[in-house]
Structure 1
Amino acid sequence: MGHPKSLVDLVEDGAVDAAWTFHGYIPGRFQLPQMVELPGVKAGAEAVSVAHWRINQEYFADSGENDGVELAALFVHGPGHIHLREPVDSLESVKGLKIRIGGGVSVEIGKRLGVTGVNAPATKAYELLAQGVADGIFMQMDYMRVGRYKEVAPYTIKMPHGMYLGSFGMFLSPDFMAGLSEQDQAAIRRVSGEKLSALAGRAWATADDIGEADIRATGSTVVEATEADIAYFEKITEGMDEEWIYKASRRDVDAKSALKAFRQEAENYQPIDL
């Protein structure tokens, strides 16, 4: 039905009843979700997804970013790592390489690593890697198996909690919801929100575990980041929190408090019943 960046507009216009998409495709509209993509949160996809929902409801509900649609869920994919055609000596050694990057905070991570970003949809990434147009890709473990990227980027540097996360939203058309009975509206909302966010995050975490086991079993080399790699990454990403807080504060929200609460929520998360 068109580019993923158009899906929220299609829901808002009533052309489709519901959709989900990556917030990073629409940076002009969605600034606040970048909070959950920032490096520094020590938690998995399910915990971050539920924290994403809870903090949005508490701090961002009146920001206007979701005006015109009903928000059904917020979630993240698993930690993004760097996967390469050829091995490197360290994370610092990726400087100058051509890397396919999706969007959102990962774009800033690429700049700070000094790589040349190759802008292309995930569906084109295999071809770019196979032809040598790109030297590597930023991607979560799941897609290395599903997209068969392991065949063309078999070397991975694995950071303890990844380099970034990717934020997604699920959206419902208000016109669609208004056309349902109150009973049906209530039924949808009972399984949406926090529960749907947790379900999506849990599914992606499981898929990442399967993906990592698969690429290891089929010959990819997964190198755990060294202490030097971690220290280097922490150094180059200094100031990203402050940059986001400055930009997010333009939405008239308490961005600093929201970020602190989000990380506490994610890192103290206890799985919920689904």
Structure 2
Amino acid sequence: MIRRNFLKVAGALTLGMTLSTAAMSDTVLRVGSWLPPTHAQNAVVWPTWAKWVEDATEGRVKIQMEYGLGHPSAMFNLVEDGAVDASFGYHGYVPGRFKLTQGIEQPLLGVNAEAASVAHWRVHNKYFAKANEHDGLEVLTLFTHGPGQIHMANPITSLADLQSKKIRLGGGVQGELGKRMGVTAVGAPATKVYEMMQQGVIDGVFIPMGEQKSLRLKEVAKHVVALPGGMYLGSFAMFINPDFMAGLSEKDREAIRAVSGEKLAAMAGAAWDAADEEGLIAAKADGVTVTEVPADGAMALEFRDLVKGMDEEWIASVADRNVDAKAALEEMRSIAQSYGK
């Protein structure tokens, strides 16, 4: 398992993404990102992968980051159209197109992002890739963020307290959870949550603990309920334009693929896990009340009752994909829960 402190090495790795004048004749792989530069995805994941790519291609391919390209849901199309060469996206932002990816998001998996990400990648390749939900893109890897928790402006003592509260939901399984809880769902990208909380547009958000620090939610969401294993995981893809890949030599294409896939999934998941740990520390240091619910606590039991039947609903929802979703879900959980043991 990956145990390094990714956040401590981020600064050094970022240097590998700077293009010198002498290297401008090399192939530049333009990566578009929608999260701030300080977020783990941009401070750790992309720089680490960039160093891997540069080393694997013996310096022939270098990565250049580009920011502020629009709504995160647009990243899939931007790469497909060649506006940038590679990016990452949250599947829940594109409802309808991505259904199979919600398998990893189902509640009660009870693992961290690294374990889930590896399971996500393996099961995608064995069961889901043939459904071609990422048509027009080459998938570099799949990964998840850490356990999604409840971040509120004001405290709650039960899940029933969320009834009619305005909660920002990011799509995917979050939508079904919000429906079962009776919240008033508000759609917006994660980058808008701070502003919406600050202005009182929303009462809270379902999101991983890392965003207490990276999105400064510790300033506006002063009450967090952390359920054991979280409520859900969020599914992401990192992807590249097939035409860009076709323009490389076969040697460099294979070099990039060799440092992607499961290796990249594990690294990305571990980086988001590390960010969650730092987010928890930052939140507590800033006076955020973090209620860590025990496995036998009232809210944990309330949540288990709330999510009954969600597996079956997801399996039914992907019937048109012609895959064995039930077997895939079982194998996904087995891989994730045995990872590292």
Which bin holds the TM-score, normalised by the shorter protein? over 0.9
Counterpart residue identity of residue 84, structure 2: V
Q: Distance in 2 between matches of 1:32 and 1:62?
A: 11
On the 8 A contact 2:223/2:288 being kept in 1, the answer is yes
Q: Distance in 1 between matches of 2:197 and 2:70?
A: 25
On the 8 A contact 1:17/1:173 being kept in 2, the answer is yes
What residue is the counterpart of 1:251 in the other structure? 321
Which structure ranks higher in relative contact order (CA pairs < 8 Å, sequence separation ≥ 6)? 1
Q: Distance in 1 between matches of 2:169 and 2:76?
A: 22
Which of 56, 73, 86 is matched with 1:5 structurally? 73
Shift of residue 6, structure 1, vs aligned partner? 2.1
On the 8 A contact 2:71/2:189 being kept in 1, the answer is no
Question: What does 1:1-274 correspond to in 2, within 5 Å?
Answer: 1-225=69-293, 227-270=297-340
Shift of residue 38, structure 1, vs aligned partner? 0.8
Q: Distance in 1 between matches of 2:111 and 2:299?
A: 19
Between 206-215 and 121-130, the greater mean CA deviation after superposition? 121-130
Between 39-48 and 123-132, the greater mean CA deviation after superposition? 123-132
Between 88-97 and 105-114, the greater mean CA deviation after superposition? 88-97
On the 8 A contact 1:144/1:150 being kept in 2, the answer is yes
Query: TM-score normalized by structure 2?
Result: 0.77
Counterpart residue identity of residue 190, structure 1: A
On the 8 A contact 2:169/2:186 being kept in 1, the answer is yes
Unpaired runs of at least 5, structure 2? 1-68
Between 130-139 and 248-257, the greater mean CA deviation after superposition? 130-139
Q: Distance in 2 between matches of 1:27 and 1:132?
A: 27
Q: Distance in 1 between matches of 2:293 and 2:177?
A: 16
Q: Distance in 2 between matches of 1:77 and 1:94?
A: 23
On the 8 A contact 2:72/2:189 being kept in 1, the answer is no
Q: Secondary structure at the match of 1:33?
A: helix
Counterpart residue identity of residue 245, structure 1: I
Counterpart residue identity of residue 101, structure 1: L
Q: Distance in 1 between matches of 2:79 and 2:124?
A: 20
Counterpart residue identity of residue 331, structure 2: A
Counterpart residue identity of residue 115, structure 1: V
Alignment length, in residue pairs? Answer: 271
Q: Which runs of 4+ in 1 moved over 6 A?
A: none
Unpaired runs of at least 5, structure 1? none
Query: Deviations 1:172-210 (Å, cap 9, x if unpaired)?
Result: 111111111111111101100000111100000001001
Counterpart residue identity of residue 169, structure 2: I
Structure showing greater radius of gyration is: 2
Counterpart residue identity of residue 85, structure 1: A
On the 8 A contact 1:49/1:76 being kept in 2, the answer is yes
Q: Distance in 2 between matches of 1:55 and 1:224?
A: 31
Q: Secondary structure at the match of 1:62?
A: helix
Shift of residue 113, structure 1, vs aligned partner? 1.1
On the 8 A contact 2:169/2:178 being kept in 1, the answer is yes
On the 8 A contact 1:75/1:167 being kept in 2, the answer is yes
On the 8 A contact 1:75/1:197 being kept in 2, the answer is yes
Q: Distance in 2 between matches of 1:249 and 1:149?
A: 38
Query: Deviations 1:115-163 (Å, cap 9, x if unpaired)?
Result: 1112222222112212222111111111111111111111011101111
CA RMSD of aligned residues (A): 1.3
Query: TM-score normalized by structure 1?
Result: 0.95
Q: Secondary structure at the match of 2:104?
A: helix
